[in-house]
Amino acid sequence: MKVQKTIKSSISRNLSLILALVSFPIPLLAQSYYAENGTANFTSSVPLYEFTGTSKQLTGLINFNDLSVDFYLDLETLDSGIKKRDKDMRLTLETKKFPFAEFYGSLLDSVDLTNLNPQKIRTRGNFSIHGVTREIVVEGEITVEQTALHLTANWEIRLDDFNIVPPSLLIVKVDQIQKVSIDIRLDKQ
């Protein structure tokens, strides 16, 4: 009876360990940085005027184990300061159908995690919005902090590259070029 009990408890302990390993794979082995309160800005222009949709719910993960970079944003959280314009952005981006803007790629440059000065980095990956995915290279700046990474990046997209048809105001049209910027502090996992 005692032997059986020991074996059972050993099986149970090992199974728990296996389950734990499978359930929490990323933080255990990889040196990764994660946040879900980053800022993302989408800036559009019409003649003589510019407006920005801002969200403070950008989620991001940088994993130095495999050099992967993964960011996504729920586009329904974009706030331009005017509710009617927010609604218009949601309709234009068809957020019911395509709720996320996302980037998934790899770091092209190495990051020295002991260097506290800002470091220029490049990432190559797939940027998806409005159901269309295109490969882009994004340049940014990363600053290593004690237990975090501060990342900023800017890039531009052409709306027609992503099949986005901006609304027109009589004869005034929204510029095809949209500026995207992110600013996020990722905590070490």
**Residue 88 contacts another protein per CB under 8 A:** yes
Least distance to another protein, CB of residue 159, Å: 14
Question: In the bound complex, what is the minimum distance in angstroms from residue 116's beta carbon to another protein?
Answer: 26
- Rg of the chain over CA atoms, in angstroms? 22
Token digits of residue 98: 């395509």
3-state SS string for 77-125: HCECCCHHHHHHHHHHHCCCCCCEEEEEEEECCCCCCCCCCCEEEEEEE
Of 6, 25, 109, 115, the one binding another protein (CB under 8 A) is 25
Per 3-state DSSP, the chain is made up of helix, strand and coil in percentages (nearest 5) of 25, 50, 25
Amino acid code (one letter) for 40: A
Asked if 32 is part of the footprint of another protein (rule: CB under 8 A), the reply reads: yes
**Site pattern 91..120 for another protein (x: CB under 8 A):** x-------xx-x-x----------------
Tokens of 2: 């005692």
Contact footprint for another protein (CB under 8 A): 7, 11, 14-15, 17-18, 21-22, 25-26, 28-30, 32, 46, 52, 54, 57, 59, 61, 63, 65-66, 68, 70, 72, 74, 76-77, 81-85, 87-88, 91, 99-100, 102, 104, 167-169, 174
